[in-house]
Chain A
Amino acid sequence: MRSIVLTKGVPDFSEGAVSFDEDGHLERGKTPTVMNPNDKFAVQAALQTRVRHGGHVSGMSMGPPGYADVLKEAMETVYTDDNYLLSDRELAASDTWATAITLCAGLETYQEEVGDIDIVFAGFKSADGETGQTGPQTAWAMDWPIVTHVLALDIDPDERVLRAKRLVEGDIDEIETVEVPLPCFVVTDPEFEPTYRKASHRLTHKQLRAETEERAADHEEHLTTWNHEDLNLDPDYIGLDGSPTIVSSVDPIPKAPSEREATMIDPGDEDEMSEMLEEMQPYATGAGD
């Protein structure tokens, strides 16, 4: 089982040290960064999967070099084996779409260079942007099924399916159980709580913690940074220039169907990219299904 956990940093509002530039854009470099609180549920889900089924967990984040600290935090709290930072000046101030595309490129680069991914875990929404769309958009871009609002999950590695209990929000909250084939995306709900009811799982957990203490001490050794060239991304379509979103309101998360035909897009191909961005526009402005 190989999982990726997507995490991002958010400005540490608690410190009251948030800094904006003249145009009202957040100056990430000048604001202390911590792990997005909602990503903690995602990383816990990744850890639970690792403890129960073994395998490898990598952390991935897109952001300025300072996000290495966020990945370090992921290593310390959920014992990621290694971390990948997608970082480049060209990637600064991306909106969720550009971020999704970059992350998608990161995941594909990972598959090429490191290994096939079974599950990508993402947080609910970030504490700063509050869009909650990066996960679904990245899944959409990867054309993998996605399960959102996950409260509990169970994986059958032999059948290569993931069963999840998810919260269906409504007048009365309901819990439904869904089954998706691997590879897939999982977006955890803040109510997600990992459970370790088997002694062997707790022993594994303890073992991982001990191993991680050593690893986290020289965290840099386990960090790979990829820039837009490594990711084969065109700067025109990423970063601020490639961010089409004008945030008006934030609405339901588009739910990707479990089965869908994949359309591969070369991020270097200008036409293909514009076409794709056009297609995505309605979702991004909150008119999704």
Chain B
Amino acid sequence: MSTESDDTGEYEHYEAVVVGCGPGGAAAAARLADHGVETLVLERGTEAGSKNVSGGLIYAEESAAYTIDDLFDGFREAAAERPVTDYHIHNIAGNKVKSYELTDLHEHDTDWCDAVLRRQMDSWLERRVHEKTSETGGGVLTDVRVNGLLRENGEIVGVTCDELDPIKADLIVGADGVNSELARDAGLMDWEEPDEWFQGVKAVVDMEPDVVNDRFGIDDDEGVAHLFSGDLFEDVRGGGFLYTNEDSLSIGTVFHLDSLVEENAEPHELLDALLTHPLLAQWLRDDYDEREYSAKLVPDSKKVAHPEPYQDRLVLVGDAAGQMQAQGPIIKGMNHAVTAGALAADAFVVTRDDAESEAAGRRYAQMLEKSGTMDKLRPRRYELSRGVGEHDLVESAVDRVLESRVGSLAVGNPIANGLLKRAYNSPFLVSMLPDTSTGYVTLPTVIGEQHGRTIHWGSEIEPPTLEERIGDLTYDTDVGNPHIELRDESAEASGAAVHACPVSAEDFGGGCYRSETVKTNGTEETLVSLDTQPCIECGTCAIVADTEWEHPRGGKGVEYREG
């Protein structure tokens, strides 16, 4: 570090500043330090992972330029839960379920795949990154929130923070995840269109290791993944998942945000629909103990992965650049964040002597392209099929056929059964699935109805209420300094948040968003109000409501223990 002047004047300078210590930031920082670059990592959580949520399965793809264990020795033993050794998808229609093994799709291009809990994983990464970066004159600082880009003569030269004086750097890595304030400040991403995002909601459920083994029929070093789709989520497009951890289960849902908004769906109720489905009763029985409720937005790379995620000295990696791939039912964000982070570091090192400020960024974009990462994120065939799939007429026509007796019979015939399994397991086909309810709801429902076996038992699970879930979370509230402000409190502008916010609900007074009927001069009006205290920083209302949205100051807000 070099200081250009004393306490009063100019700013500290580091060769590289990495914002965010999730998988993307950790990979970038580790690789930079391996190259001997003086690297400062700034993380807003009180410990890395305390703000983060994933499903989460971390993949090591055979074709990837970098995987997490390339960069961090001993990752799988120390930071991960169970490896996934079995993979299934369940098509649900009422209490009829048709299950397919998805192992082929899961194993396609997969070296290994482990379930992870983010607090455990990211805090482990943070410690390794601190060790590595300390050796080259930097380190990791937690409880620090970067609030913007530092510019000189219009050019990005560093970052500004709530807790620290501005910092200059030759390379700024924006690895600040979904709702990246840096990406938005640079004008590289916007927070406008709900159809560019998914919303993920998750419950971590306590379960003793031997009970996990027993109920899923696995050994200590084995794990399973189950995916769920069909009509258990009514018409909301998306699906559910269940992954086994060492001594817990991760059970959650991922829905298209535009669909949640259109259907006025309550995310926690959708999660409960999954938790209380009789199919899950075989694993959960009646002793349900929820450790944590969490939620976060997930970008859809097909639509938002930025082909040129850089500007001046800033490069974006991971969710910040929209690099989150929904490969049909399989969700791959962490692995791509890792690859991108490491590539950004390499790009900086090979262009270090180039005086031009965008040299690293340009090289990084080329590397994303050349390594094949970009084509995974934004498959060309999706671009081609997108226009067709999203056409309302085509969609409803297909739906009508599927729902008709003829269509159902076609999907329902025994030959189709084999074909469907093959289709689900085809990485080529799943990457083409249009984002319509056909793929998510209609087809799985028909499959469930036609091929499914009926489940004859019920569920005795009673998930906690929203109030109990909020009550169980840990918060360090920044009293008097709300991080979100409502710009427009009309129902038209911001009413969607009352439903879509995962800690709010119509008729629930203890959440973030509430709607109230106000009478003025004889006319009635519905207005929306906001209390950020129970906010879990998922990012949803940044998109679906008219807000001034920021992350809380360093260390403030919700603190996840599981993630």
* Chain A residues near B (Cβ < 8 Å): 154, 197-200, 202-203, 206-207
| Candidates B1, B42, B138, B164; contact of A197 at CB < 8 Å | B164
Does B141 lie within 8 Å of A197, measured CB to CB?
no
Could you tell me the distance in whole angstroms from the C-beta of A201 to the nearest C-beta in chain B?
Answer: 9
Closest to A154 in B: B7
Does A198 lie within 8 Å of B165, measured CB to CB?
yes
With a CB–CB cut-off of 8 A, which chain B residues contact A202?
141, 144, 164
With a CB–CB cut-off of 8 A, which chain A residues contact B134?
203, 207
Could you tell me the distance in whole angstroms from the C-beta of B169 to the nearest C-beta in chain A?
Answer: 10
Closest to A206 in B: B139
Bound CA–CA A59/B19 (angstroms):
37
B12 on the interface (CB 8 Å rule)? yes
Could you tell me the distance in whole angstroms from the C-beta of A278 to the nearest C-beta in chain B?
Answer: 46
Q: Can you name 29 A-B pairs with beta carbons within 8 Å?
A: A154-B7, A197-B163, A197-B164, A197-B165, A198-B3, A198-B7, A198-B12, A198-B164, A198-B165, A199-B1, A199-B12, A199-B14, A199-B42, A199-B164, A200-B1, A200-B3, A200-B12, A202-B141, A202-B144, A202-B164, A203-B40, A203-B138, A203-B139, A203-B141, A206-B130, A206-B139, A206-B141, A207-B134, A207-B139
Bound CA–CA A203/B137 (angstroms):
9
In the complex, the 4 A-B pairs of residues with the closest C-beta atoms, listed nearest first: A203-B139, A197-B165, A200-B1, A202-B141
B541 on the interface (CB 8 Å rule)? no
B27 on the interface (CB 8 Å rule)? no
B167 on the interface (CB 8 Å rule)? yes
Q: Which of chain B's residues 109-137 have a Cβ closer than 8 Å to chain A?
A: 130, 134
- Determine which residue in A154, A199, A200, A203 has the highest number of CB atoms from chain B within 10 A of its CB, and name it: A199
Chain B interface: which size bin? 10 to 19
With a CB–CB cut-off of 8 A, which chain B residues contact A154?
7
Chief secondary structure at chain A's binding surface: helix
With a CB–CB cut-off of 8 A, which chain A residues contact B141?
199, 202-203, 206
With a CB–CB cut-off of 8 A, which chain A residues contact B42?
199
With a CB–CB cut-off of 8 A, which chain A residues contact B167?
199
Number of A-B contacts (CB under 8 A): 33
Bound CA–CA A207/B12 (angstroms):
18
Bound CA–CA A198/B1 (angstroms):
11
Q: Which of chain B's residues 1-31 have a Cβ closer than 8 Å to chain A?
A: 1, 3, 7, 12, 14
Bound CA–CA A200/B163 (angstroms):
13
Closest to B14 in A: A199
- Determine which residue in B134, B138, B139 has the highest number of CB atoms from chain A within 10 A of its CB, and name it: B139
Bound CA–CA A200/B139 (angstroms):
9
Bound CA–CA A198/B165 (angstroms):
6
Bound CA–CA A154/B164 (angstroms):
17
Bound CA–CA A154/B8 (angstroms):
11
With a CB–CB cut-off of 8 A, which chain B residues contact A197?
163-165
Bound CA–CA A199/B40 (angstroms):
8
Extra A-B contacts (19), CB below 8 Å, given A198-B7, A203-B139? A197-B164, A197-B165, A198-B12, A198-B164, A198-B165, A199-B14, A199-B40, A199-B42, A199-B141, A199-B164, A202-B141, A202-B144, A202-B164, A203-B138, A203-B141, A206-B130, A206-B139, A207-B134, A207-B139
With a CB–CB cut-off of 8 A, which chain B residues contact A198?
3, 7, 12, 164-165
Q: Which of chain B's residues 444-494 have a Cβ closer than 8 Å to chain A?
A: none
Bound CA–CA A237/B88 (angstroms):
85
Closest to B8 in A: A154
Bound CA–CA A202/B138 (angstroms):
11
Bound CA–CA A199/B17 (angstroms):
11
Closest to A197 in B: B165
Could you tell me the distance in whole angstroms from the C-beta of B39 to the nearest C-beta in chain A?
Answer: 11
Closest to B40 in A: A199
Bound CA–CA A169/B111 (angstroms):
69
With a CB–CB cut-off of 8 A, which chain A residues contact B139?
203, 206-207
With a CB–CB cut-off of 8 A, which chain B residues contact A199?
1, 12, 14, 40, 42, 141, 164, 167
Bound CA–CA A203/B14 (angstroms):
13
Bound CA–CA A199/B13 (angstroms):
10
Could you tell me the distance in whole angstroms from the C-beta of B29 to the nearest C-beta in chain A?
Answer: 14
Closest to A204 in B: B139
Bound CA–CA A183/B40 (angstroms):
35
Bound CA–CA A274/B12 (angstroms):
55
Bound CA–CA A200/B6 (angstroms):
12
With a CB–CB cut-off of 8 A, which chain A residues contact B144?
202
Bound CA–CA A198/B40 (angstroms):
12
Bound CA–CA A154/B165 (angstroms):
17
With a CB–CB cut-off of 8 A, which chain B residues contact A200?
1, 3, 12
Bound CA–CA A198/B139 (angstroms):
13
With a CB–CB cut-off of 8 A, which chain A residues contact B14?
199
Bound CA–CA A280/B130 (angstroms):
54
Bound CA–CA A200/B144 (angstroms):
13
With a CB–CB cut-off of 8 A, which chain B residues contact A203?
40, 134, 138-139, 141
Bound CA–CA A199/B164 (angstroms):
7
Closest to B138 in A: A203
Bound CA–CA A202/B143 (angstroms):
11
